Structure 1
Amino acid sequence: MNKLKVVTIGGGSSYTPELVEGFIRRYHELPIDELWLVDIAEGKEKLAIICELCQRMVDRAGLPMKIVQTLDRREALRDASFITTQFRVGQLAAREKDERIPLSHGYLGQETNGAGGLFKGLRTIPVIVDIIKDIEEICPDAWVINFTNPAGMVTEAVYRHTHFRRFIGVCNVPVGMHRFIQDILSLGKTDHLSLDLFGLNHLVFIKDVLVNGHSRFTEVIDKVASGNFSGSTVKNIFSLPFAGSLIRGLNLLPCSYLLYYFKHKEMLAIELGEYYKGEVRAQAVQKLERQLFKIYQDPTLAVKPAELEARGGAYYSDAACEVINAIYNDKQSEHYINLPHNGHVENIPDDWVVEMTFLLGRNGGTPHPRLTRFDDKTMGLIHTIKGFEIAAARAALNGNLNDLLLALNLNPLVNSDSDAELLAREMLLAHQSYLPQFADAIATFTATREA
């Protein structure tokens, strides 16, 4: 890699300043020559604001990093070394529909889980596949670091339905869990923390915690089971504690998103309460986005503002920087990422994409040698969600209504086949401009509605 060029697709995202901050901090190891920020016409204004802020950040740091903004993805991809993807098809207005429509029928409305997560995947996966086609043609040796949600479903789709193999899914949830354990154990900067983390995206568990090579997992479980854990390490999930009996029975540390399964009744009640007040999470995020972009336009601002950490995806970008750094410098360092395990885990199918502890270097990720088996207590839920992801990926690319309905019915957050049909109809009609692959089903539903 003679010239280090990074391309960010979705460059007008409010998260981009965090990405640039990460690149600035690592410039001594990761000397990026060019950072290209790519967006679509609808995001042109935001892209310009972000580009100007990022240029001020680079200038303040005194680095010779060139920042380029463009709406031409193919032009940006020429000679790219790394591509990061961080976009939202339909923007936050689509997320609001993903939340409101399921809640209107008494189901959890969430952007990566249940019906909402499915429809985000249906909109996103075809776009990712189109991006990959361009990459295979223009810069086939580049690595793609994806933190567009739903990251697990997207990564599963890429490895199941394309031949591209330089694609890594990244999530901020394990980063939040890592930070939480550092806090709960009062670790210092010189302490080395290693996690045995396993599962699927937004469905991960920690089975061991090693500090300087010694397990302190029993101490972590005791602290968490005693109530010293809020249940959520990210901003976009309401914080509830897991029952101590559950933690001790599992003898595992679950991620925040498992509240949707282990505290389904409580989480649904909270979301319905917010919904009836007209205050779904997407509205709060849209308000925060407006505030952030107002802050970003301050010509004296030349650093990432603290307000960005209020977004649910805080630390995504920092994690992406570390992944790029590990590959570029062949670090063989520990990361919690989404990739196929290729038969390393003995009690799941060989071709599954999983989220677990990998060692990452120039040739990609290798599952950590300690993690050869997923805990049997988790396998029922893991198999259920993986079946949902596989069906969802297939439906996203073939536009088959029956495959879409199968995915909905397989998801444990949708528990009625008649309601699945109702949700499918309403959400297809609501998102029809972003779901051309379902044109036949949408036409049928439209005709029925107008009859």
Structure 2
Amino acid sequence: MKLAVVGGGSTYTPELIDGFARLRDTLPIEELVLVDPAADRLELVSGLARRIFAKQDHAGRITTTTDVDAGVADADAVLLQLRVGGQAARDQDETWPLECGCVGQETTGAGGLAKALRTVPVVLDIAERVRRTNPDAWIIDFTNPVGIVTRALLQAGHKAVGLCNVAIGFQRKFARLLEVEPGQVHLDHVGLNHLSWELGVRLGGPDGENVLPKLLAEHGDAIADDLRMPRKLVDRLGVVPSYYLRYFYAHDEVVRELGTKPSRAAEVAAMEKELLEMYGDPALDEKPELLAKRGGAFYSEAAVDLAASLLGDGGSPVQVVNTYNNGTLPFLADDAVIEVQARVGRDGATPLAVPALDPLYAGLIANVTAYEDLALEAALRGGRDRVFKALLAHPLIGQYDYAEGLTDRLIAHNREHLAWA
């Protein structure tokens, strides 16, 4: 089995490598190709990757290339974890929206739209290269904004599934609180990427006992603290919202908070510099503890599980993924991309049925899906007016003067990445 990781020079990659090494019986990789235009980062990351494989007696071969065509050739699956513009572009996404009184964040709001506009054309180009060399390969997208990017891939006819680590993070957290193995915890996870709720927590499988009321009663303070939301809000909802819902439920509070400290991108950039120095140490043969602060916890387990299911019979039959709606949420079009539990196998992902949603959740999902429709149109076709309409449609913006100011700033800060600008 051959896998390619586009964006393999990312400081995330050792997390992925560690998972591949530990879970080699689930996903038996013979060759892993790390693809990245940054040859210097590739050298540091691949050196550590080989040492991790060697320490854990993994027989797989790790190679590197800066050439996408060469890297994806004959791959059974291609994992996308790229960041167009790097942390510098992310820093802009997180700062200029604040000038208009709106949340600055890399995956939602105006910053999320900027990232989508930079990313979609690049991802589609990579996917076409994959299709030319091996049309049967699966594309697993971890590149944000996952929902929009996955829809772009599916809409263009690619074999693609989107992946996020939010659900597996909740699964692991709830398993610890319940003192059970993670595999015993099944989530009633419903929504869009970075806009989701855990409506139930079931033991043993999709039809198991719902222990969410017990979790909230006994561990509500800890859960609310992790979300950075008031306990009384979580109790009133009776569900566990993704921590990304804080941008919606406490927008003005978050804007004030973000205006008083360095951007997350600045923090991550400093962390990445330190990590890359660590990766260059020939004595290091395991992922460093600092990597846990970088983000992406449990990404490797989720990626291995998904790839194993798509390529064979080694993964879990039910996983949380991003895929076409196809009637699962009746208030959305079939070609909307949702994030729910799905049965995953060689033929792809088929969402499980979900109960009728409270309008509190359904309304916001519908609103953000409408924004994503417009965002994808702007990413594919360009144009100031399309950018403006997408921003105006976003529930975190929604006022014409905000949308006007944000449109000007978005284009000014991203002109080098926008072919039409």
Rounded Cα–Cα distance in structure 2 between residues aligned with 1:268 and 1:63: 46
Out of 300, 305, 311, the position equivalent to 1:322 is: 305
| Matching residue of 1:380 | 363
Shift in Å, 1:63: 2.3
Out of 201, 221, 232, the position equivalent to 1:227 is: 221
| Matching residue of 2:157 | 163
Q: Deviations over 1:242-265 (max 9, x none)?
A: 342x33433221110001111112
Q: Write the letter of the residue equivalent to 1:205.
A: W
* Aligned residue-pair number: 417
Out of 268, 271, 283, the position equivalent to 2:255 is: 268
Rounded Cα–Cα distance in structure 2 between residues aligned with 1:242 and 1:223: 16
Where do residues 329-408 of structure 1 align in structure 2 (5 Å cutoff)? 329-330=312-313, 331=315, 333-369=317-353, 371-408=354-391
Out of 241, 252, 255, the position equivalent to 2:242 is: 255
Cα contact 2:175–2:182 (8 A) shared by 1: no
**1:33 lines up with 2:26 in the alignment:** no
Q: Write the letter of the residue equivalent to 2:285.
A: A
Shift in Å, 1:231: 4.8
SS, match of residue 306 in structure 1? coil
| Matching residue of 1:14 | 11
C-alpha distance 228-53 of structure 1, shift in aligned 2 (>3 A): closer
Q: Deviations over 1:201-257 (max 9, x none)?
A: 001111111113222122123345x4232454xxxxxx522342x334332211100
Rounded Cα–Cα distance in structure 2 between residues aligned with 1:332 and 1:307: 29
Shift in Å, 1:131: 1.1
| Matching residue of 1:309 | 292
| Matching residue of 1:141 | 136
SS, match of residue 189 in structure 2? strand
Q: Deviations over 1:63-121 (max 9, x none)?
A: 22111110111111211101000010000000001111111232211100111011001
Shift in Å, 1:191: 6.6
**1:97 lines up with 2:92 in the alignment:** yes
Rounded Cα–Cα distance in structure 1 between residues aligned with 2:143 and 2:327: 26
Rounded Cα–Cα distance in structure 2 between residues aligned with 1:20 and 1:173: 20
Where do residues 152-191 of structure 1 align in structure 2 (5 Å cutoff)? 152-160=147-155, 162-164=156-158, 166-185=159-178, 187-189=179-181
**1:433 lines up with 2:416 in the alignment:** yes
Rounded Cα–Cα distance in structure 1 between residues aligned with 2:356 and 2:76: 34
Cα contact 2:305–2:316 (8 A) shared by 1: no
Rounded Cα–Cα distance in structure 2 between residues aligned with 1:190 and 1:356: 18
C-alpha distance 418-191 of structure 1, shift in aligned 2 (>3 A): closer
Shift in Å, 1:334: 2.1
Structure 2 runs not aligned, ≥5 long:
none
SS, match of residue 412 in structure 2? helix
C-alpha distance 231-352 of structure 1, shift in aligned 2 (>3 A): farther
Shift in Å, 1:367: 1.4
Rounded Cα–Cα distance in structure 2 between residues aligned with 1:344 and 1:423: 34
SS, match of residue 227 in structure 1? helix
TM normalised by structure 1 equals 0.89
Rounded Cα–Cα distance in structure 2 between residues aligned with 1:356 and 1:387: 18
| Matching residue of 1:240 | 228
Cα contact 2:96–2:409 (8 A) shared by 1: yes
Rounded Cα–Cα distance in structure 2 between residues aligned with 1:208 and 1:426: 41
Shift in Å, 1:382: 0.6
Q: Deviations over 1:181-208 (max 9, x none)?
A: 12332x2238711111100000111111
Rounded Cα–Cα distance in structure 1 between residues aligned with 2:53 and 2:231: 46
Structure 1 runs not aligned, ≥5 long:
233-238, 440-451
| Matching residue of 2:41 | 46
Q: Write the letter of the residue equivalent to 1:214.
A: E
Shift in Å, 1:9: 0.2
Identity %: 35
**1:207 lines up with 2:224 in the alignment:** no
Rounded Cα–Cα distance in structure 2 between residues aligned with 1:247 and 1:383: 22
Q: Write the letter of the residue equivalent to 2:14.
A: P
Shift in Å, 1:315: 2.2
Q: Write the letter of the residue equivalent to 1:147.
A: F
Cα contact 1:193–1:210 (8 A) shared by 2: yes
Rounded Cα–Cα distance in structure 2 between residues aligned with 1:182 and 1:20: 24
Cα contact 1:199–1:374 (8 A) shared by 2: no
Shift in Å, 1:372: 4.9
| Matching residue of 2:62 | 67
Rounded Cα–Cα distance in structure 1 between residues aligned with 2:317 and 2:229: 32
Rounded Cα–Cα distance in structure 2 between residues aligned with 1:190 and 1:180: 9
Q: Write the letter of the residue equivalent to 1:271.
A: L
Rounded Cα–Cα distance in structure 2 between residues aligned with 1:132 and 1:428: 25
Shift in Å, 1:349: 2.4
Rounded Cα–Cα distance in structure 1 between residues aligned with 2:172 and 2:55: 28
TM normalised by structure 2 equals 0.95
